[in-house]
Each structure stands twice: as C-alpha cells, then as structure tokens.
Structure 1
C-alpha cells in the first residue's frame, strides 16, 4: 500500500495545473492578436502600394501623348491605351493644363477595399513635367508609400 501512495503522489505532482494552462493560452492569445494586427497593416500597405504602382503606369503614356502635339484631345485611359479599371482602381485622366499644374492628371478612384471607400489617389503634373502623388484625406498615412506622404 505504501508503494501505491508514493506513485499516486508523484502522478499528481506531474503535469500542468489549470492556472498554468490558462496563462499559456492567454499569452498565446495576446501574441496572435499582435501578429494579426501587424499582418492587417502590412496587407493594407501592400494594397495601397499596388494602387500607387498602377497609377504610375499612366505617367509615360500621358507624357508621350502630350509630346505628340496640341491637336491631341483624347486624354482618357483609352486614349493612353491603358485600362479603365483594375482590381483596386477606376481610372480617370484629365487633359493637361498648358499654363501650369494639371491637378488630377491621373486619378485612381479606389474600389473593392472596404476600408478605403470613396477614397482616391491622384497624380498631379507640374508645368515642368514633374509628377506629384496626392492621396485623398481619408487614407491613413501609415498605408501610403513615401512618395505620397
């Protein structure tokens, strides 16, 4: 009988207590929450970067069409031989202002991203031919590439 009580005592002392298991689960929950938030931020930054890269594709055809002369009037995505829409954008083109900066020379109205509803990213073209990215006010700076901040 003494052998049974010794083995039984050793058996009870081995393993984890309920408190220890609850602490481990709580720590895992905190780590998963932090990882999930970090993943969401990275995903949103990547999506906005894709939008910025897509709208940048309009710069060269726009400049090429502009260099063809004053008779060119087809400043549209079709006129630039570019798509009207993409996964995240509905594009709009504005004809150049010959006297200065062309605001919204190329604009992406963001679509398909619930956290950026009714937002846009535009490229403005200065008279000297330089381009500037201009996001709408509702896009958090944390999501924007450095060129748009």
Structure 2
C-alpha cells in the first residue's frame, strides 16, 4: 500500500508568512492613525462639555472660585509637574482662562499627555470664547488627526 503525505510545502508556508507581513505593514500604521484621531475627538468632546458649564457661570456672574465645573480627570490630558497648568480643575494639562466680565475672552485648553498617542504628545486643543459669546475650536495636532469643527493650525516650517 502506498501512503500519501499530506501537508503544506515550505514555499507555501513562506508565501503565507510574507502575505501576513505585508498586511501587517499596512494595517498597523492605519490603526495607529485611527487611534490618534479618536483620541483627538475624545478630548474635543471632553473639553467641549466644559463650554456649557463655563458659559452658565459667566452669564450668571459667578467668579472663577465659585464656578463648579464638575470636571472628571481625563487620562489623555496631562503634563510634566513643572508644566502643570491645573487651575480650578485640579487636572494637569487642562488650563481654563476665566473671563473677568461677560464680554471678555475665555479659553479652555487641553494639552495631550503621555497616555495619548505618541504623535499627539505635547499638542493642544483649545476652545476660545470670543467677546460676542461664540465659541471656536483650534488644535495644534496634524491636520489628518483634526476632527471636523476643530481645524488644525498651520505650523511654521523650519
């Protein structure tokens, strides 16, 4: 009786490994871009939620000390201890510039920390309230990571 060996040849296995390598080389960078973009959107949403509270405090005539923001710390925002900008929030990496009058400018600035994607580290996302009461968003992240409604600022070429 003849027995037939079954299995894969070495060349077939090498082709499969090569295909997996090519797919991984394409998929991993795309996945990292997806993660970075979702983190920017999340920070935009988290800091954007402070606009309503801050606007209410401003229109009610409350001072910065009496305005309760109700902020929960974010693991994406942060800074080194010497760069800490924690004010009313107690969160490093989040800076709130409270206006002195209802017509003055206010800012909510979030700085991406070490828990954010490596390409976002030390970048910022800023909500600015004009003296008219209108809010606008801008960010220093690369344009490919910037969410709709929050354009990336053009960086100077070195």
TM-score by length of 1: 0.74
| SS of corresponding position for 1:142 | coil
Contact 1:105 1:122 in 2 (8 A): yes
Partner of 1:56: 48
Q: Is 1:94 matched with 2:97?
A: yes
Asked which structure has the greater CA Rg, the reply is 1
Q: CA RMSD in A?
A: 2.7
Select between 108-117 and 43-52 the one with higher mean Cα deviation. Answer: 108-117
SS of structure 2 residue aligned to 1:58? helix
Aligned residues: 134
User: Structure 1: which 5+ runs fail to align?
Assistant: none
* Residues 1:130 and 2:134 aligned together: yes
Residue by residue over 1:99-127, the C-alpha shift from the partner in whole angstroms, topping out at 9 and shown as x without a partner, is: 9772x611112222243222211101122
Mapping of residues 1-149 of structure 1, within 5 Å: 7=2, 11=5, 15-69=7-61, 72-74=62-64, 79-83=67-71, 85-89=73-77, 90-96=93-99, 102=105, 105-111=107-113, 112-113=115-116, 114-136=118-140, 139-149=141-151
Bigger fraction of residues in helix: 1
